[in-house]
Amino acid sequence: MYVLVKRLRAEGVPIGGVGFQTHWTTDPLPVGFAANLRRFTALGVDVAITEADVRITLPVTFDKLAAQASVYRQAITACLSTARCVSFTVWGFTDRYSWIPERNVEDGAACLFDATYRPKGAYDAVVAALSGH
């Protein structure tokens, strides 16, 4: 995608931004995730996290929820550390209506709020990152 955007921009195609779907697991994000965002902005485009969710292999445990919170924090921190990252959008807000179990029956609990609309540690991690803590 990087090579394509670079080539099209060089040809004068008016590409203003690139969105990153970030449907992830509780494994840490790739080490170069933030650097990749900045690599695109160096081409002169804005970037955005357009779909963020972090699925958990069921059953949900305390440790898996903590890992999920860490990944959400990594993703929002990567966006915040990139001058031209213009938005961060979560894909769904409650596990009650998440698309994940329909797509991956062994996974779930991917959102910031649980199925009873209570904020999870992932929510707290995003709020903390947004408030600079």
| DSSP category for residue 120 | -
pTM over 0.85: yes
**Cα separation of 88 and 52, whole Å?**
8
What single string gives the DSSP state of each residue in 38-105?
Answer: HHHHTTT-EEEEEEEEE-EESSP-HHHHHHHHHHHHHHHHHHHTSTTEEEEEES-SBGGG-SHHHH-T
Per CATH, which fold does 16-130 belong to?
TIM Barrel (3.20.20)
Encode the chain (133 residues) as per-residue pLDDT tens digits: 999 999 999 999 999 999 999 999 999 999 999 999 999 999 999 999 999 999 999 999 999 999 999 999 999 999 999 999 999 999 999 999 999 999 999 999 999 999 999 999 999 999 999 998 7
Q: What is the pLDDT of residue 133?
A: 75
